[in-house]
Chains A and B, each alone.
Chain A
């Protein structure tokens, strides 16, 4: 796979002295869905705005499809579609006309059939001649996506596509994103909903205070960083951990009724079998056991907290 978007040493400081991006390096592969995860004010929107040309970088290089976004902005921007966070639409215009306008603005010749196709793929075909102010919030979001797709971009940026959107519509939006991926569009979305990244992303980048803390394959990240826990219910509560078990990473919970063993899934051996043997030898009787894996959320919170 080749990088379709490449960001090198990107910095952005404002006149106020605030440094929104502190040396971002990022390679986005063609055809992937990358979720940029981070708390509010982390720099997600600034990063996207800078790649799309809305914000001017203070230093650093960005290329899209191999084109420099400053010097070859026409070629670079033609490849990009942007769905902003806010619902910014001309209220009195029809859906069809705003989408046509977007297509023209990006230099593509008028093609009503293509526009109709895009509207259909977003279930907006019956709203084509409706005025935007007549649409519901969810429909307006779809219009924003239709506008971003009007010039058939290869890279689509979705800035918080599901912020303030109800559960059903969010699932809907995820389906739209999955469809686009099938069509070969590279998708970068920002979100602060961890479940969103977990549900649809191929890779997850965690951004906080203008820096990328980590960027990794989602499954790999969870496997590597995800700690697993074994919880063992004891027949009789224990007051202390027996000396024979001291070399395990153990804690007691629920007044000594539950013994919790934290282990690493990366290791060849989890140590569960020997632990259970050692427990029996130490005279601890178990009534039940279960395992638990930490979610992306735990990882995320851990990372951001460490960075604070």
Chain B
């Protein structure tokens, strides 16, 4: 194991994050605050409680998940796409490193950034609403697993993407709709029965439900199912990455 290489990739990627710290942190904090103002305060004042939780507090887990998923995906996809775009990928390919080390370095850094942002949003939320966390350990576990799995997904997108447009395509067309329709701002039980069934095919529902359970001890789906869903998702991403490096797809000729 080339631990030094993992550390180097990780540090180099984190340096990019800290170099652009303002845009890295301010924009998610700002957009989350706007969500709180619009949904939590303005609209939320008309909705009293959802599942015995005030609406403002109810949307906190969903908002954190929304930011973490989109940030993890975009950070990881950019992290590996950029070396491909500017050509510095040659160095990774000619270095004495294997695909596990490259993945751990890039995905680790992207997941850390997403975790940072998630934490900041969590702290920001405190300024707007009263929230308590029922299961702190599981909250952290769900958060970290989401950071990692969506960073893995972003990593795959970054390798697949042939241009900047494609880099934005999947997050824009698939992830954002899935997250919005995954119960970030509402409980699945609020939907008509037919849509409740359809929604169950959305994997994000399980993640948000599990995360929300960690906060309020109520969930749309059993927690075990949420854990299973995120584990399966992570396994699928890892298999895809293993296949990518084994075949050299879009990387090595």
A residues in contact (CB < 8 Å) with B: 14, 52-56, 73-78, 80, 82, 84, 86, 88-93, 97, 100-110, 147
Listed by A's residue number, 24 A-B pairs whose Cβ atoms lie within 8 Å are A53-B93, A53-B94, A54-B252, A56-B252, A56-B253, A74-B96, A75-B96, A76-B96, A77-B96, A82-B90, A86-B87, A88-B91, A91-B86, A104-B4, A104-B7, A104-B8, A104-B9, A105-B5, A105-B91, A105-B97, A106-B95, A107-B2, A107-B97, A147-B91
Q: Which residues of A contact B11 (CB under 8 A)?
A: 101, 104
Please, how many angstroms separate the alpha-carbon atoms of A103 and B95 in the complex? 10
Q: Which residue of A lies closest to B86 (CB)?
A: A88
- What's the interface size class on B, roughly? 20 to 34
Q: For A82, give its contact among B7, B94, B96 (CB under 8 Å).
A: B94
* B224 beta carbon closer than 8 Å to chain A: no
Whether A104 and B5, one on each chain, are in contact in the complex, defined by CB atoms closer than 8 angstroms, is: yes
* B88 beta carbon closer than 8 Å to chain A: yes
Please, how many angstroms separate the alpha-carbon atoms of A86 and B89 in the complex? 12
Please, how many angstroms separate the alpha-carbon atoms of A294 and B32 in the complex? 75
Please, how many angstroms separate the alpha-carbon atoms of A171 and B90 in the complex? 27
* B192 beta carbon closer than 8 Å to chain A: no
Residues B1-20 near A (CB distance < 8 A): 2, 4-5, 7-9, 11-12, 15-16, 19
Q: Which residues of A contact B9 (CB under 8 A)?
A: 101, 104-105
Q: Which residues of B contact A74 (CB under 8 A)?
A: 2, 96
B residues in contact (CB < 8 Å) with A: 2, 4-5, 7-9, 11-12, 15-16, 19, 82-83, 86-88, 90-97, 248, 252-253
| A-B contact sample (8 more), CB < 8 A, given A104-B8, A106-B96 | A56-B253, A78-B96, A88-B87, A90-B82, A91-B86, A105-B91, A105-B95, A147-B91
User: In the complex, how many angstroms separate the beta carbon of B12 from the nearest chain A beta carbon?
Assistant: 5
Q: Which residues of B contact A105 (CB under 8 A)?
A: 5, 8-9, 91-92, 95, 97
Query: What DSSP secondary structure best describes chain B's contact surface?
Result: helix
Whether A108 and B87, one on each chain, are in contact in the complex, defined by CB atoms closer than 8 angstroms, is: no
Please, how many angstroms separate the alpha-carbon atoms of A217 and B82 in the complex? 42
Q: Which residue of B lies closest to A103 (CB)?
A: B8
Please, how many angstroms separate the alpha-carbon atoms of A220 and B94 in the complex? 34
Whether A88 and B88, one on each chain, are in contact in the complex, defined by CB atoms closer than 8 angstroms, is: yes
Q: Which residues of A contact B94 (CB under 8 A)?
A: 52-54, 77, 80, 82
Whether B90 and A84, one on each chain, are in contact in the complex, defined by CB atoms closer than 8 angstroms, is: yes
User: In the complex, how many angstroms separate the beta carbon of A160 from the nearest chain B beta carbon?
Assistant: 14
Q: Which residues of A contact B96 (CB under 8 A)?
A: 73-78, 106-107
Please, how many angstroms separate the alpha-carbon atoms of A237 and B93 in the complex? 66
Q: For A107, give its contact among B5, B88, B92 (CB under 8 Å).
A: B5
Whether B87 and A84, one on each chain, are in contact in the complex, defined by CB atoms closer than 8 angstroms, is: yes
User: In the complex, how many angstroms separate the beta carbon of B108 from the nearest chain A beta carbon?
Assistant: 14
Whether A89 and B88, one on each chain, are in contact in the complex, defined by CB atoms closer than 8 angstroms, is: yes
Please, how many angstroms separate the alpha-carbon atoms of A53 and B102 in the complex? 15
Whether A77 and B95, one on each chain, are in contact in the complex, defined by CB atoms closer than 8 angstroms, is: yes
Q: Which residues of B contact A108 (CB under 8 A)?
A: 4
Q: For A93, give its contact among B8, B15, B92 (CB under 8 Å).
A: B15
Give me the 5 closest cross-chain CB pairs, A-B, nearest first: A104-B8, A88-B87, A74-B96, A77-B96, A52-B94
Q: Which residues of A contact B90 (CB under 8 A)?
A: 54, 82, 84, 88
Q: Which residues of A contact B91 (CB under 8 A)?
A: 82, 88, 102, 105, 147
Please, how many angstroms separate the alpha-carbon atoms of A41 and B253 in the complex? 17
Q: Which residue of A lies closest to B7 (CB)?
A: A104
Q: Which residue of A lies closest to B88 (CB)?
A: A88
Whether A97 and B93, one on each chain, are in contact in the complex, defined by CB atoms closer than 8 angstroms, is: no
CB-CB under 8 A for A55 and B4, given A84-B87, A97-B15, A105-B97:
no
Q: Which residues of A contact B253 (CB under 8 A)?
A: 14, 54-56
Please, how many angstroms separate the alpha-carbon atoms of A270 and B91 in the complex? 53
Q: Which residues of A contact B12 (CB under 8 A)?
A: 93, 97, 101
Q: Which residue of A lies closest to B92 (CB)?
A: A105
Q: Which residue of B lies closest to A131 (CB)?
A: B19
User: In the complex, how many angstroms separate the beta carbon of A171 from the nearest chain B beta carbon?
Assistant: 27
Q: Which residue of A lies closest to B8 (CB)?
A: A104
Please, how many angstroms separate the alpha-carbon atoms of A147 and B90 in the complex? 12
Q: Which residues of A contact B82 (CB under 8 A)?
A: 90
Please, how many angstroms separate the alpha-carbon atoms of A239 and B95 in the complex? 67
User: In the complex, how many angstroms separate the beta carbon of A23 from the nearest chain B beta carbon?
Assistant: 19
Please, how many angstroms separate the alpha-carbon atoms of A107 and B253 in the complex? 24
Q: Which residues of A contact B88 (CB under 8 A)?
A: 88-90
Q: Which residue of B lies closest to A50 (CB)?
A: B253
User: In the complex, how many angstroms separate the beta carbon of B23 from the nearest chain A beta carbon?
Assistant: 13
Q: Which residues of B contact A102 (CB under 8 A)?
A: 91
Please, how many angstroms separate the alpha-carbon atoms of A102 and B86 in the complex? 16
User: In the complex, how many angstroms separate the beta carbon of B19 from the nearest chain A beta carbon?
Assistant: 7
Q: Which residues of B contact A82 (CB under 8 A)?
A: 90-91, 94
Interface centre among B4, B8, B91, B93 (most CB of A within 10 A): B91
Q: Which residues of B contact A97 (CB under 8 A)?
A: 12, 15
CB-CB under 8 A for A106 and B252, given A74-B96, A77-B96, A88-B88:
no
Please, how many angstroms separate the alpha-carbon atoms of A280 and B249 in the complex? 74
Whether B4 and A89, one on each chain, are in contact in the complex, defined by CB atoms closer than 8 angstroms, is: no
